[in-house]
Structures are given as structure tokens and as C-alpha cells.
């Protein structure tokens, strides 16, 4: 595979950007080599600066559920750009998108647009702390909720698992307010809430974990979170930045029938442009300025271009049969990939909810961060690069989700399944 143009750009990038990237995972550190520099993309394909073409299952980390450069989305962006790119003032576009979100997501009556998932989560935590007057936040090991200070916290030692900063720059006194529990561990949740539930402002969870690879919730897990937070007077925050509009029009909360107090969204609702959002009941959201006293603001929040793109995406998602199509395509791919590992005798575990999926090179049952950490990341590294040579682009990390779009053709899915045989053999040699 030719890479001279990407290889020329990377040192230039590293001169002027940290690690040559604007987000760490793009640096390919987990899979060796140098990042690809992408020149264009259309449908299910991305093309790099050396002209290499790949079938893409990263989908810009989730947003592109209708593939790249979807004609209706591009047309909406162009049309709006000719009317102006940003006004810093109210528009009907943002009302339309908010109405679509409210109509689709069961727990949301009122929603605030922001510019990223991180911003949505940061705002949701401030809102929960503002409403309850409490400081503590509960999260789960291996779940990622953006780079807000309260969330870059790992489990400390000792029983109470007081949070410790995950990186320099996080104030310890803030980190200590964040408690980490093992995902899917109902007893650990009940123990913590029994011990200190009345000090907890909120528990935040990815209802389907997507940032340690995909891990579905165990039966009863989400129900226990709802029950324990309600009992304790703490807010339940669903971080649906990935799962929102991905696994159903109403997100994971619709799929599992759980009503959180606050929902964070992003990715898909921006149609590939920068959008985040958080929402909940009117009672909860009226605490947010300018109605309430919990302050949150943003120059480009509700940006007309992003709203125009998001409106098209939600219209497309509302068409009958879209989620069945995503389910069929995703099942076909994952069944094919799983068959290959079985026939080649490669230890692998597959997880999938709708069109988000993962493949772990381990024999361990997949249920939490500890279990996925048994994956053979060196094998994954060879597999990733083998797929790349075959024209297939998956996330450059074992601990990320794969995404199917409504645009991937059966032929491309078959091509991916065939390519994975070669990649598995190359990885195994």
C-alpha cells in the first residue's frame, strides 16, 4: 500500500499540532505505523492522500450513519452556507432539530444544543450538581464521556474507590468526587448507594458501553441504576453520544425502556458537523440559564450549518425500515466475521447492538473493562494492518466500536468478510 504522501504530511503535522493530530486516537499509536491522511470520502468509502480507497467502519467515530457526503446532507449544508454560516442568534432551524429530538427521545421534553459530546456531558454534570447541591459523581471503568475534568478520573485504590486523576492537570480535590465502579456490576452499585447514595449528584453511564469496545448492559443492570439513583435522590445521566439515534430512533433508553433524568447526545445529530446536546424533563432543564441559575453557553451552539445537517439526518432516520436495514447489514457482517474466526480457530468474542459492534481477540466472556483487557492487542494490531492492506478501515484501537452505515452494500460487506480471512491469517503467522 502506497503511503508516501501520508508519510510526507505526518512530520509537517507534528511540527504544528501535538502528535500531529487534533485527537489522540487518530495518531494510530495503538496499531503502530503512521496515521492515514484522508483526502475525500463518499458513501461507505474513504480515500487517502495516496489514492488508497477503504471501506470505512469508523464512520468518523459514529456520526456517519448514512455514510460520507450523503447528497441530501451536503445539499442542506451548501444551501444553508449560502444563507450564512453563523448568526449567534436564534433560528427556526434549531427549533426544528430540537423538536425532532424531543419527539424521538422518550425522556426529553427540553434540549440544549452545544458543540461536542464533551460539552454536553460537562453541562449535564454541572446541571445535576446544581439541582442536587451534591458533589459526587459515579461512573464506570472503561466508559468514556469526553475529556471534562470530572470524567478523566480512574478508580483509586481501596474500598471506596475514591477517584484519582487519569492525567496531569486534573485537580485532585475534584477527582476525588468521582467514583468508579465496574460496568455491569449491580451489587457494586447497590453497595455504593447504600454507603453514600445521599452524597451522589449523578450517576453517568453509557447505556451500551462503546469506548472499551462494545459491551451491552447485562439484564437488570440499567434497571438497577434507575432504581438506586431514584431512591437516593441522585440523577441518572445516560451518555448517548454514541447510542443516541444509533441503536434506535429513541436511543438505548427506548430500546431498554429506561427513563434517565438527563440524556447527553452528539455525533449522529450533527450529521458530521460539530454538535452535542443534553436534555431532560422541563423541570430538570429549566434549571439551565437563562431560565434557571445553572450557567452554560456557547458561541456556535445551534449553529445553522450543523442544525441543517442534523435536521436532514433525523428526517432520513425517521423513514420506515432504516433500523431494520442497519440491523440486517450489521448482522450479516458480524456473522461472517465470527464464522471466519471459528473456522480459523482464532479465539475471538463478538459483541453487537444494532449497528455498533466489536470483535475482541480473547476467550473471556465480555462483560466489563477487566474482561476486555484480556484481549490480545498485539494480534489486533496485526489484524488492523492486515485489513488496511485489504482496503478495510476499522478503528485503530481494540477498545473502540465499529459502525455500520445504511449505505454499505452487500457486496462491500462480503468483501470485508473475505478480507478478514486474509487479515486473520496474516495476523496469525
Interface residues toward ligand KE4, by CB under 6 A: 23, 25, 61, 116-118, 121, 144-146, 206, 210-211, 239, 241-242, 266, 276, 400
Catalytic residue set:
144, 239, 267
State in angstroms the smallest separation of the CB of 63 from ligand KE4: 9
Minimum separation from the CB atom of position 23 to ligand KE4 (A): 3
- 47 bridge partner residues: 40, 53
What's the closest the beta carbon of residue 339 comes to ligand KE4, in angstroms?
A: 27
Work out how close the CB of 180 gets to ligand KE4 at its nearest, in angstroms, rounded to a whole number. Answer: 16
For cell 450479516, name the residue.
332
**Min CB(334)–ligand KE4 separation in Å:** 19
CB atoms within 10 A of CB 40: 12
**Considering beta carbons, is residue 121 or 258 the nearer one to ligand KE4?**
121
Query: Of the two residues 210 and 354, which places its CB atom closer to ligand KE4 in the complex?
Result: 210
- CA torsion, ordered 186, 247, 358, 347, to nearest 10 deg: 70
Instruction: Say if residue 77 is preceded by a cis peptide, omega within 30 of 0.
Output: no
Question: Toward ligand KE4, which CB reaches closer, 126 or 417?
Answer: 126
CB count in 10 Å sphere of residue 327: 16
Closer to ligand KE4 at the Cβ: 43 or 276? Answer: 276
All three cell numbers of 325: 436495514
Nearest residue to ligand KE4 by CB is: 117
3-state DSSP assignment of residue 16:
helix
Q: In what order do the strands lie in the sheet with 200-205?
A: 110-114, 276-280, 262-266, 235-239, 200-205, 136-140, 178-181
Work out how close the CB of 30 gets to ligand KE4 at its nearest, in angstroms, rounded to a whole number: 12
| Dihedral sign computed on CA atoms, order 55, 59, 64, 69 | negative
Q: Which of 228, 225, 227 is nearest to 239 (CA)?
A: 225
Q: Report the alpha-carbon distance of residue 411 to residue 420 in Å, rounded.
A: 14
CA 171 to chain centre: 26
Nearer to ligand KE4, 181 or 417 (CB): 181
Contact 306, 110 (CB under 8 A): no
Query: Residue 76's Cα: distance from chain center in Å?
Result: 24
Measured in residues, the chain has a length of 429
Amino acid at each position: 500500500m502506497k503511503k508516501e504522501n501520508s508519510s510526507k504530511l505526518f512530520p509537517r503535522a507534528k511540527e504544528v499540532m501535538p502528535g500531529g493530530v487534533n485527537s489522540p486516537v487518530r495518531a494510530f499509536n495503538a496499531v503502530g505505523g503512521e496515521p492515514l491522511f484522508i483526502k475525500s470520502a463518499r458513501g461507505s468509502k474513504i480515500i487517502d492522500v495516496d489514492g488508497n480507497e477503504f471501506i470505512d467502519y469508523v464512520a468518523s467515530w459514529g456520526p456517519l450513519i448514512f455514510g460520507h457526503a450523503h447528497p441530501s446532507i451536503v445539499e442542506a449544508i451548501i444551501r444553508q452556507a449560502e444563507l450564512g454560516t453563523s448568526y449567534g442568534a436564534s433560528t427556526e432551524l434549531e427549533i426544528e432539530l430540537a423538536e425532532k429530538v424531543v419527539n424521538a427521545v422518550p425522556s426529553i421534553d427540553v434540549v440544549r444544543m452545544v458543540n461536542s459530546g464533551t460539552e454536553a456531558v460537562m453541562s449535564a454534570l454541572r446541571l445535576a450538581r446544581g439541582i442536587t447541591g451534591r458533589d459526587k459523581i459515579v461512573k464506570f471503568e472503561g466508559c468514556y464521556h469526553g475529556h471534562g475534568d470530572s470524567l478523566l478520573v480512574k478508580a483509586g485504590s481501596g474500598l471506596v474507590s475514591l477517584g484519582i486523576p487519569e492525567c496531569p492537570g486534573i485537580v485532585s480535590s475534584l477527582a476525588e468526587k468521582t467514583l468508579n465502579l465496574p460496568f455491569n456490576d449491580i451489587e457494586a452499585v447497590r453497595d455504593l448507594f447504600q454507603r453514600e447514595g445521599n452524597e451522589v449528584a449523578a450517576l453517568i453511564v453509557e447505556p451500551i458501553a462503546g469506548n472499551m469496545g462494545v459491551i451491552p448492559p447485562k439484564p437488570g443492570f440499567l434497571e438497577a441504576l434507575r432504581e438506586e439513583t431514584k431512591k437516593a435522590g441522585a440523577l441518572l445521566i445516560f451518555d448517548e453520544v454514541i447510542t443516541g439515534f444509533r441503536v434506535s430512533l429513541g436511543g438505548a433508553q427506548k430500546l431498554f425502556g429506561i427513563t434517565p433524568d438527563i440524556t447527553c447526545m452528539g455525533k449522529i445529530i450533527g450529521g458530521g458537523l460539530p454538535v452535542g446536546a443534553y436534555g431532560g424533563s422541563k423541570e430538570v432543564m429549566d434549571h439551565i440559564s437563562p431560565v434557571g441559575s445553572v450557567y452554560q453557553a456557547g458561541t456556535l451552539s445551534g449553529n445553522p450549518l450543523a442544525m441543517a445537517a442534523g435536521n436532514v439526518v433525523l428526517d432520513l432516520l425517521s423513514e420506515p425500515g432504516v433500523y431494520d436495514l442497519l440491523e440486517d447489514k450489521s448482522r450479516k457482517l458480524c456473522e461472517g466475521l465470527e464464522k471466519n474466526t471459528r473456522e480459523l480457530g482464532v479465539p475471538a468474542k463478538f459483541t453487537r447492538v444494532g449497528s455498533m459492534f466489536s470483535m475482541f481477540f480473547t476467550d473471556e466472556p465480555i462483560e466489563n473493562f477487566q474482561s476486555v483487557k484480556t484481549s490480545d492487542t498485539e494480534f489486533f494490531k496485526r489484524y488492523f494492518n492486515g485489513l488496511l492492506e485489504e482496503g478495510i478501515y476499522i478503528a485503530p484501537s481494540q477498545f473502540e466500536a465499529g459502525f455500520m452505515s445504511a449505505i454499505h452494500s452487500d457486496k462491500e460487506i462480503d468483501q470485508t468478510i473475505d478480507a478478514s480471512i486474509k487479515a486473520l491469517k496474516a495476523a496469525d503467522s
